[in-house]
Amino acid sequence: MTIANSVFPGRTAALLLLVVLLLGLWLGPVASYLDLIQSGAEQIERQQALLQRYRGLAQASQAEPAALPTGDVSAAILLPGLPESQVVAGLQETVKAAATAAQVQIQGFQVLRSEALPGAVRVGIRVRATGDIAGLSRLLYAIEAARPMLLPDNLQIQSHAAPTARIDAPRPLEFQLDISGVKPEARS
């Protein structure tokens, strides 16, 4: 037996071991890495398609001018386009109904100066009333939930406890609240 014959089976075994090792690497981490790259590429393609769709929608919405809210949307936000005195009277009636439901006693109303806004007029009243804290909470909720939209502002609360009143008895609160709404500007 010569040296060349004895080395050949060792080289074959080493080469076979190297092929098995490379095949193991290919099936293990390299295959997982390639799958990860493939799924990332598919996700990028989906995101690009979504981006193109959004761009198309944005261009379509820019091409069509936005219409001003009319009908139901305008009625839910703006007070009616009546003369200011009628709008104030309607606002007072709305607040009276909300106060009755909230068990709050109204002491008086004061009409506030109207404020001109771009394309609209802000009309408001100041309400002086008495009631407990739960009634005030219900009144504020009713005003904020009212349609057309009403805006409460400048809430001032005073508590006057009677000297002979029991500590656990609910104390009446006196409060003042500005309530306003927005009506469309009168066209001339």
- What's the CA gap between 109 and 14, in Å, rounded? 101
pLDDT over 80 (residue 166): no
Q: What span, in angstroms and rounded, lies between the C-alpha atoms of 70 and 87?
A: 19
Bigger pLDDT: 65 vs 141: 141
Class of the CATH domain delimited by 77-161+170-184: alpha beta
Q: For residue 161, is pLDDT > 90? A: no
Q: How many CB atoms lie within 10 A of CB 174?
A: 14
Q: In the chain, at which residue ranges do the beta strands (DSSP E only) sit?
A: 105-111, 115-117, 120-131, 151-159, 173-184
pLDDT at site 41: 92
Find the mean pLDDT for residues 28-32: 76
Task: Compute the half-sphere exposure of residue 58: CA atoms within 13 Å on the CB side of its CA.
Answer: 6
Q: What proportion of the chain, given as a percentage, has pLDDT over 70? A: 80
For the stretch 68-73, contacts whose Cβ atoms lie closer than 8 Å and that sit 24 or more positions apart, written own/partner, are: none
Whether the CA torsion 12, 13, 14, 17 is positive or negative: it is positive
Sequence ranges of the domains in the chain = 1-66, 77-161+170-184
Which of 84, 80, 174 lies closest to 136, judged by CA? 174
Residue 6: pLDDT band by 50, 70, 90 thresholds?
A: low
Mean pLDDT of 173-187: 88
- Name the band, by pLDDT with cuts 50, 70 and 90, for residue 73: low
What's this model's pTM, rounded to 2 decimal places?
0.56
Residue 68 has pLDDT above 50, yes or no: no
pLDDT at position 165 is: 55
pLDDT band at 74 (very low <50, low <70, confident <90, very high): low
- Tokens coding 109: 């109303």
User: Quick one: what percent of the chain has pLDDT higher than 90?
Assistant: 36
* DSSP string over 126-181: EEEEEE-HHHHHHHHHHHHH-SS--EEEEEEEEE---TTS-TTSPPPEEEEEEEEE
More confident residue, 102 or 11: 102
